[in-house]
């Protein structure tokens, strides 16, 4: 609808403001017109009276009547030398209704009297007092009918209104066309560019090119150009990652089958009587098992096969004990790592026990591998407390270690798949999957600190109800 467009609303605002300006101009203009009309009558009356005085009263009555008629008044009174003298006079058809003294009239009074005069339905007989021109006396006083005054005021008012209306229309049309050319047309071009880009956001040729000469629109176009450029780049990267993910999934599937076969062969090698083979066989089996697990994790992550958690009320201390006992079995030979668990025995959480076990096992495994890489003694600490003291309902679980800390790159992309690997050869899937599992519980996994003194993660889970 035209009435709902920006141009139409701007046009109506222009007309409204012009009319408002006209009201502010019209009233003073009418007051000024009335004042000048009355001053002109005073000047004519003064000229007529001076003509009579110059003739020493010899002007006949008919000629005096013509002077009054030409002046547009009924009588003229002059005050000269403190003497008030009726110079010219004629019969007054009705009593004087009001007296106006122009010597003392201010702007407000003049505007009020002008509006009242225009709004009166019938003319009246009024007395007007003013100063004579060229100091020809102390004052001059006339009596006149307001009939012609009202007629001329209305005629003058109509001319002003017609002129104002013409100015309003011309100004409105010019502003409308200007807004169309300078604002609406560039905005429509931006809208068309956005619609065109939305049809094929990966097509870089559809990205808007900033070209507006208006600073605000130029800034909007530049911001849109930057946004579209970033989005196109991200979509292209997403496509490449999707293609790469599909390729990795196919490779992982085939590699898993090959590694499974190799694992079965390694099991047979483990039965060899050769002492060196017996020592190497367990390490080979563990390496193959880790490779198989990595392939399976890659396939699971790429296919988004993580099921929704089956929530139940579980005792957290028992689950942590299972995680610790399971991790102790994977210690490298000669590793000196101590576990410390500080959990209230009656602390419960509402979680999927299998998924929460995977999350904790992943964090503990990373901590163990980080300490083992230093070949120095270390401590892994698990602590859990009710999080109500932090202003939220739930449980906070902290997993910390005394390892060397995470490298800067790992901290930057910690929970991003294939980018947040924390050890050499890692794919960065473990923490990405762990964070996804925690989010599935309505919680949050975050890195609290990582420096030369070690690393600490925190898991927040909603409370058990």
pLDDT digits (tens, 9 = 90+) for 109-144: 999 999 998 888 888 999 999 888 776 668 889 899
Q: In angstroms, rounded to a whole number, what is the distance separating the alpha carbons of residues 171 and 187?
A: 22
Question: H or E stretch including 392?
Answer: none
Which segments of 274-336 are extended strands (E)? Answer: 312-315
Averaged over 211-229, what is the pLDDT?
84
Most confident by average pLDDT, 4-13, 18-27, 328-337, 360-369:
360-369
Whether 46 and 133 have beta carbons less than 8 Å apart is answered as yes
Provide CB contacts within 8 A for 214, sequence distance 6+. 182, 183, 186
Q: What is the dihedral of CA 399, 405, 406, 411, to 10 degrees?
A: 70
Averaged over 356-373, what is the pLDDT?
90
Strands 98-101 and 75-80: unpaired
Averaged over 392-404, what is the pLDDT?
89
pLDDT at 446 > cutoff 50: yes
Whether 391 and 399 have beta carbons less than 8 Å apart is answered as no
pLDDT at 98 > cutoff 60: yes
Fold of the domain spanning 308-462 = Heat Shock Protein 90 (3.30.565)
Q: What is the mean pLDDT of the chain?
A: 80
Q: In angstroms, rounded to a whole number, what is the distance separating the alpha carbons of residues 125 and 205?
A: 82
Residues in the chain: 465
Q: At what angle do helices 6-54 and 107-119 cross, to 10 degrees?
A: 100
Q: Give me 237's structure tokens.
A: 């990267």
Any alpha helices (H) in 382-461, and if so which ranges?
408-412, 429-440
Q: In angstroms, rounded to a whole number, what is the distance separating the alpha carbons of residues 7 and 284?
A: 77
Averaged over 271-291, what is the pLDDT?
64
Averaged over 266-288, what is the pLDDT?
64
pTM exceeds cut of 0.75: no
Any alpha helices (H) in 55-106, and if so which ranges?
61-71
Q: In angstroms, rounded to a whole number, what is the distance separating the alpha carbons of residues 304 and 299?
A: 8
pLDDT band (50, 70, 90) for residue 219: confident
DSSP 8-state secondary structure symbol assigned to residue 180 = I
* Residue 34 CA neighbour count, 13 Å, CB half: 29
DSSP 8-state secondary structure symbol assigned to residue 441 = T
For 342-365, b/e burial (b = at least 16 CB within 10 A) is ebeeebbbbbbbebbbbbbbbbbb
Residue 189 pLDDT: 84
Q: In angstroms, rounded to a whole number, what is the distance separating the alpha carbons of residues 302 and 305?
A: 8
Residue 425 pLDDT: 43
Q: Give me 455's structure tokens.
A: 């690393």
**Which residues are registered as beta bridge partners of 217?**
none
Q: Give me 126's structure tokens.
A: 């009024």
Cα–Cα distances (Å) from 303 to 248, 299, 414, 462, in that order, read 11, 6, 21, 27
């Amino acid at each position: 609808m035209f009435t709902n467009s920006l141009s139409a609303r701007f046009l109506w605002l222009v007309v409204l403001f012009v009319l408002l300006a006209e009201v502010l101009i019209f009233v003073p203009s009418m007051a000024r017109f009335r004042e000048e009309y009355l001053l002109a009558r005073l000047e004519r009356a003064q000229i007529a009276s001076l003509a009579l005085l110059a003739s020493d009263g010899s002007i006949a009555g008919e000629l005096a009547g013509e002077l009054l008629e030409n002046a547009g008044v009924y009588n003229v009174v002059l005050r000269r030398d403190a003497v008030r003298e009726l110079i010219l006079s004629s019969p007054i058809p009705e009593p004087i209704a009001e007296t106006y003294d122009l010597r003392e009239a201010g702007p407000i009074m003049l505007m009020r009297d002008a509006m009242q005069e225009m709004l009166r339905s019938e003319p009246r007989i009024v007395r007007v007092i003013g100063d004579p021109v060229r100091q020809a006396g102390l004052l001059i006083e006339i009596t006149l009918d307001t009939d012609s005054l009202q007629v001329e005021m209305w005629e003058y008012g109509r001319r002003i209104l017609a002129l104002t209306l013409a100015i309003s229309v011309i100004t409105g049309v010019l502003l409308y066309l200007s807004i169309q050319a300078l604002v609406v047309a560039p905005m429509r071009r931006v809208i068309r560019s956005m619609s065109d880009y939305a049809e094929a956001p990966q097509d870089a040729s559809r990205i808007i090119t900033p070209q507006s000469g208006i600073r605000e629109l130029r800034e909007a176009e530049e911001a849109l150009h930057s946004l579209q450029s970033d989005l196109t780049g991200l979509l292209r990267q997403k496509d490449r990652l999707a293609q790469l993910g599909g390729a990795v999934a196919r490779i992982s599937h085939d590699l898993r089958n090959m590694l499974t076969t190799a694992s079965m062969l390694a099991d047979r090698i483990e039965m060899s009587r050769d002492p060196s083979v017996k020592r190497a066989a367990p390490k080979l089996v563990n390496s193959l098992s880790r490779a198989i697990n990595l392939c399976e994790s890659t396939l699971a992550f790429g296919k988004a096969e993580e099921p929704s958690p089956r929530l139940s009320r579980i005792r957290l201390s028992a689950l942590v004990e299972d995680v610790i006992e399971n991790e102790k079995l994977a210690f490298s030979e000669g590793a000196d790592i101590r576990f410390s668990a500080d959990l209230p025995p009656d602390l419960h959480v509402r979680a999927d026990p299998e998924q929460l076990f995977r999350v904790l096992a992943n964090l503990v495994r990373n901590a163990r591998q980080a300490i083992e890489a230093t070949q120095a003694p270390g401590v892994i600490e698990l602590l859990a407390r009710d999080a109500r003291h932090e202003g939220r309902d739930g449980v906070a679980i902290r997993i910390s270690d005394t390892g060397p800390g995470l490298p800067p790159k790992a901290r930057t992309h910690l929970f991003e798949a294939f980018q947040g690997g924390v050890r050499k050869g890692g794919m960065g899937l473990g923490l990405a999957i762990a964070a996804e599992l925690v989010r599935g519980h309505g919680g949050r996994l975050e890195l609290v600190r990582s420096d030369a003194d070690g690393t600490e993660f925190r898991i927040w889970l909603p409370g058990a109800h």
